């Protein structure tokens, strides 16, 4: 028997949660053609993978790599984690919905510094552009509610009229017909936060008609976490579609431990027949916009220019400062991330940066946001390690980085969360090998077979005869994340080989240059 590639002697974890077993894997063209003791097989390329783990390439259920795919299609920070498929368009934010109009200036600010001009106006046009460019991983798109609401209603903080609601429904239908896999919301962000529950139910029903699921960045991940999970469950129940709770966590010390209750809510909903899962990343800090993290919510209403006007107006500024000080935030726990106009601030805490210029932290924040046009990121070290372990142990938790695919050289000026470089190796290294929070086969299941089940992928996410040859080979004794908040642009180590669609992407820990991924369109997959 002949094949193109033969992986010999590895310990195969098939992505179902079963323990690993020694087996060979034969690959021809894009697919696996045999698994087992394949002594009678010959191949053009035979690779000895003894003492290494062989698993389905990891599926990252929650990324924002649509913000980097057009200028970094290779997605190196993801490949070196063993990621073969990414789900993008999460948190209600989607590059594919944007156009060249001024209302999308915030999205354009992510793209223009890297030479990307928005020359599309429809979801399907964006997917076609990526397909013509070639992508380093497989990519799955969600329809992003916040961005499409902005397209239809701008930043208006109100209930849509009947015409606007129908326009949003049509937009979702077009996305689903073009190949989207579900609907995402970001209910903590403008303008998604203006949507009330009835609007979200009606829009989710459109995704449900096409077999999609509902992924949500909750309205609150802190003080109103319980109520926000209840709202998400209500939306999914009434729209009759599966629910994915994004990057599940409890922000702020006063909310630590609430995940015990939210996981009970998920379990109860599952017992009632609702398909609910959640995802998480294994860090005790989250990263977001400084404006969202630090300003009172009322300040963020309307267009970015309206927000900036509030920051400039002396009387309104005093009101904002009073509200910020009343919250008693721990500014030593908030680290400044990317600041395109002042890179020297990156990595300082807000308390440190404010002290250097002899300002209060609150005044420093307002001035910096004005200087940068609101375009500042922060990392907030306000999560509980025990909560991380609790959510990770929950059997319906998937692994999702909430990251972006980075080039460690071209994008070095940015200061991303290390999750973009280290999420999957960190789970396998720290929480499996070192701490034993999960078994190896269970962790792999959370990264492969379980997200494939969420997506209803039948030919990826497990290693079986006939499935696509999306395969990662890693050293379980040394796989680890190297990226840190201080020095984030460090590729993970321990992934030896990565094949996507039967092509070498990493071989002997070296990038081959291949853009072997595909844009996966749901309407052509089921």
Q: What is the pLDDT of residues 358-413, one digit of tens each?
A: 999 999 999 999 999 999 999 999 999 999 999 999 999 999 999 999 999 999 99
Which position has the token pair 């400044």? 336
- Distance between CA atoms of residues 454 and 466, nearest Å: 20
Instruction: Give 525's pLDDT tier (boundaries 50, 70, 90).
Output: very low
Per-residue pLDDT tens for 261-274?
A: 999 999 999 999 99
Per-residue pLDDT tens for 111-168?
A: 988 999 999 989 999 999 999 999 999 999 999 999 999 999 999 999 999 999 999 9
Q: Where are the beta strands (DSSP E) in 95-153?
A: 138-141, 143-144
Q: What is the pLDDT of residue 302?
A: 86
Residue 380 is given by DSSP the state: E
Distances (CA, A) of 53 to 392, 441, 498: 21, 10, 12
Instruction: Give 106's pLDDT tier (boundaries 50, 70, 90).
Output: confident
Q: Is the peptide bond before 271 cis (omega within 30 degrees of 0)?
A: no
Contact present, 20 and 416 (Cβ < 8 Å): no
- Distance between CA atoms of residues 85 and 61, nearest Å: 8
Tally of CB atoms within 10 A around 87: 29
Query: Cα 21 vs. chain centroid, distance in angstroms?
Result: 31
Q: What is the pLDDT of residue 526?
A: 38
Per-residue pLDDT tens for 35-54?
A: 999 999 999 999 999 999 99
Residue 351 is given by DSSP the state: H
Strand partners of residue 519: 139
Is residue 109 scored above 90 in pLDDT?
no
Give the residue from 483, 494, 379, 383 showing the smallest Cα distance to 423.
Answer: 483
Q: Mean pLDDT lowest for which of 99-103, 136-140, 423-427, 509-513?
A: 99-103
Strand partners of residue 335: 349, 379
| 58-60, strands of its sheet edge to edge | 58-60, 83-88, 138-141, 519-520
The backbone torsions φ and ψ at residue 24, rounded to the nearest 5 degrees and listed phi first, read -100, 155
State the DSSP string of 420-484: HHHHHHHIIIIIIIIT-SS-HHHHHHHHTHHHHHHHT-SSSSS--TTSB--EEEE-TTT-B----
């Amino acid at each position: 028997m002949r094949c193109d590639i033969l992986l010999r002697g590895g310990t195969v974890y098939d992505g179902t949660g079963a323990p690993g077993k020694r087996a060979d894997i034969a690959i021809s063209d894009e697919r696996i053609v045999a698994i087992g003791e394949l002594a009678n097989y010959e191949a053009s390329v035979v690779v000895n993978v003894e003492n290494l783990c062989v698993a389905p390439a990891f599926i990252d259920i929650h990324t924002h790599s649509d913000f980097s795919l057009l200028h970094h299609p290779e997605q190196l920070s993801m490949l070196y984690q063993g990621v073969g498929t990414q789900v993008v368009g999460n948190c209600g934010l989607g590059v594919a919905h944007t156009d060249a109009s001024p209302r999308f200036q915030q999205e354009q600010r992510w793209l223009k510094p890297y030479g990307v001009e928005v020359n599309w106006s429809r979801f399907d046009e964006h997917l076609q552009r990526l397909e013509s460019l070639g992508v380093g991983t497989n990519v799955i798109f969600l329809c992003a509610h916040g961005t499409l609401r902005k397209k239809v209603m701008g930043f208006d903080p109100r209930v849509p009229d009947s015409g606007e609601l129908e326009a949003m429904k049509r937009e979702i239908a077009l996305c689903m017909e073009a190949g989207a896999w579900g609907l995402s919301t970001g209910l903590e962000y403008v303008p998604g936060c203006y949507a009330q529950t009835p609007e979200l139910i009606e829009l989710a029903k459109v995704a449900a008609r096409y077999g999609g699921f509902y992924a949500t960045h909750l309205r609150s991940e802190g003080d109103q976490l319980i109520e926000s999970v209840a709202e998400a469950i209500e939306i999914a129940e009434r729209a009759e579609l599966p629910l994915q709770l994004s990057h599940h966590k409890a922000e702020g010390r006063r909310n630590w431990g609430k995940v015990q209750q939210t996981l009970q809510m998920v379990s109860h909903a599952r017992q009632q027949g609702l398909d609910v899962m959640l995802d998480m990343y294994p860090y005790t800090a989250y990263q977001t916009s400084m404006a969202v993290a630090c300003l009172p919510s009322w300040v963020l209403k309307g267009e970015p220019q309206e927000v900036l006007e509030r920051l400039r107006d002396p009387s309104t500024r005093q009101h904002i400062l009073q509200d910020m000080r009343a919250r008693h935030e721990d500014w030593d726990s908030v680290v400044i991330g990317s600041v395109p106009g002042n890179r020297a601030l990156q990595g300082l805490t807000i308390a440190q940066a404010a002290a250097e210029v002899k300002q209060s932290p609150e005044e420093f924040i307002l001035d910096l946001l004005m200087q940068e046009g609101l375009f500042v990121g922060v990392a907030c070290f306000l999560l509980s390690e025990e909560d991380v372990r609790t959510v990770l142990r929950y059997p319906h938790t998937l692994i999702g980085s909430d990251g972006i695919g980075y080039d460690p050289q071209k994008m070095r000026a940015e200061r991303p969360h290390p999750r973009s470089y280290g999420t999957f190796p960190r789970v396998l290294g720290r929480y499996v090998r070192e701490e034993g929070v999960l078994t190896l086969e269970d962790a792999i299941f959370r990264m492969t077979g379980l997200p494939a089940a969420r997506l209803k992928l039948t030919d990826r996410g497990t290693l079986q005869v006939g499935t696509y040859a999306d395969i990662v080979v890693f050293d379980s004794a040394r796989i680890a994340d190297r990226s840190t908040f201080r020095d984030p642009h460090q590729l993970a180590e321990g992934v030896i080989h990565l094949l996507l669609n039967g092509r070498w992407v990493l071989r002997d820990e070296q990038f081959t240059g291949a853009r072997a991924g595909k844009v996966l369109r749901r309407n052509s997959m089921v």
